[in-house]
Chains A and B, each alone.
Chain A
Amino acid sequence: MTAQTVTTFEAFKATLKRDLLIAYKRKNDMVNPFMFFLIVASLFPIGISPDPDRLAEIASGVLWISALLASLLAMDNLFRSDYEDGSLEQLLLSPHPLYFLVLAKNISHWLVSGLPVALVSPLVAYMLNLPSESYFTLFITLLIGTPVLSLLGSIGVALTVGLGSRGLILAVITLPMSVPVLIAGTLTVQQTLNGASLAGYLAILAAMLFAAVSFAPLASAAALRISVN
């Protein structure tokens, strides 16, 4: 059998399509991160204060932290079921560069967990009384930032996929690494409120995205090869 009957791009597309199909079939996995985001974000007014002025101050941070936690919660699905049913090993055995296959899995994962969170964020921002001129900035920062969170998180997931109790370790590894994204995201939103130019801030977020797309799947692929023997 010739190994190269399928091009790498076709393998990339097939992996993406398969993961999206699986996500579509398992609707819980799609809805849960999204619901988690809504629930965590609504805990803050209850826990801190329902006062609109105070909420407006913390809203950008609340939304970003909720998105970060939702992304962390969703991470576990990324390689886990594939690891358990053995299809992850098939992925590793494939002749195509693992970078592209991991990237495809990351993209599909972001489409079902990060994108819905970014889409609903203006609504939650309204509920948290974030000043309306920054809704769009918030949406854009989450749109650029959540894929970075997924890509970074996937390194942690790949390292811990074979472990029995990995939830907390995953959080301990991943959350500190996500801090630069959190800082860039919330600073950009706050910058809108100051009325200053956003170009530099968005450029830094975009730089993080490009760096993450270029290097994180390589690290995840290496981690998968270590975890799956």
Chain B
Amino acid sequence: MWLWFSKLGSPKWFYELSGKWLPWLAAGMSLLLIVGIIWALLFVPPDYQQGDTIRIMYVHVPFASISLAFFPLMAVAGTITLVWRMKLADMVAKTAAPLGAWFTALALASGSIWGSDIWGTWWIWDGRLTSMLLQFFLLVGVISLRSAIEDADAAAKACALLAIVGCINVFVIKYSVDWWNTLHQPSGSFSLSDEAPNPPEVWVPLVIMIVAVYLFFVVSLILSTRNEILERERRSQWVQELIEAN
């Protein structure tokens, strides 16, 4: 297990392995994305209350659910960085922050388009929306701290610590903001355990879209981490060989 763990810390090993996985992940992602979008846009029956607007759900819910994963991901990567000084973990944490900001922004944007039709307003200070907005601000904070510290090693540790503090804070913010004001429909109405009100032709494409967006996240994370690896390891021999080979 520890051999596997130390191997995982090697950027070169990750670069080679992810290179093998990437075509499969990308193919699966494209397939699911095409199937999911066509199904959601053309074949899902319109909702009896929301009409065709319900189709925005197939974009909004996947993005909103994946956005919640970023702070835990960065906190785990940050802990690994602080404890084991693993370079790869910091590369993942570094690339996850801007991705997280984008995904959170997309969740907010798609939600606000949905809300403009259903709630009649683009923005309300509802608990969910506000906590997502604050999570976006915290991610921007991590990104700006990273860019402000010139020394890469110190930046890695500082951002790792901020990610851990931020992760705890995101949970506290979530609860306090829910306490403060809640209008958003509970996500339970979309969950798999609650199948009664939603027939399969509604939730199967949603599951496909969620898996597709998760794969999209994995593919983007791997791609940007590979970029980061090449940039940081540009003086190492295997990167030089790679450049010459191409």
Is B one of A's binding partners? yes
Q: Which of A169-216 contact B (CB under 8 A)?
A: 169, 172-173, 175-177, 179-180, 183-184, 187
Contact B165 A219, beta carbon cutoff 8 Å? yes
Contact A166 B169, beta carbon cutoff 8 Å? no
15 contacts between A and B (CB under 8 A): A160-B145, A160-B148, A162-B149, A168-B144, A169-B145, A172-B141, A172-B144, A176-B138, A176-B173, A177-B169, A180-B173, A184-B176, A187-B180, A219-B164, A219-B165
B4 contact set on A, CB distance < 8 A: none
Contact A226 B165, beta carbon cutoff 8 Å? no
B48: CB under 8 A from chain A?
Answer: no
B158: CB under 8 A from chain A?
Answer: yes
Smallest beta-carbon distance B166→chain A, Å: 7
- How far is it, in angstroms, between the C-alpha of A219 and the C-alpha of B157 when the chains are bound? 12
Contact B148 A165, beta carbon cutoff 8 Å? yes
- How far is it, in angstroms, between the C-alpha of A93 and the C-alpha of B148 when the chains are bound? 26
A159: CB under 8 A from chain B?
Answer: yes
- How far is it, in angstroms, between the C-alpha of A64 and the C-alpha of B158 when the chains are bound? 29
B162-177 interface mask toward A, CB cutoff 8 Å, 1 = contact, 0 = none? 1011100100110111
Interface size on A, residues (CB 8 A): 25
List residues of chain B with CB under 8 Å of any chain A CB: 134, 137-138, 140-141, 144-145, 148-149, 154, 157-158, 161-162, 164-166, 169, 172-173, 175-177, 179-180
List residues of chain A with CB under 8 Å of any chain B CB: 155, 159-160, 162-163, 165-166, 168-169, 172-173, 175-177, 179-180, 183-184, 187, 219, 222-223, 226-227, 229
Contact A179 B176, beta carbon cutoff 8 Å? yes
Among residues of B, the one whose C-beta sits closest to the C-beta of A174 is B141
A168 contact set on B, CB distance < 8 A: 144
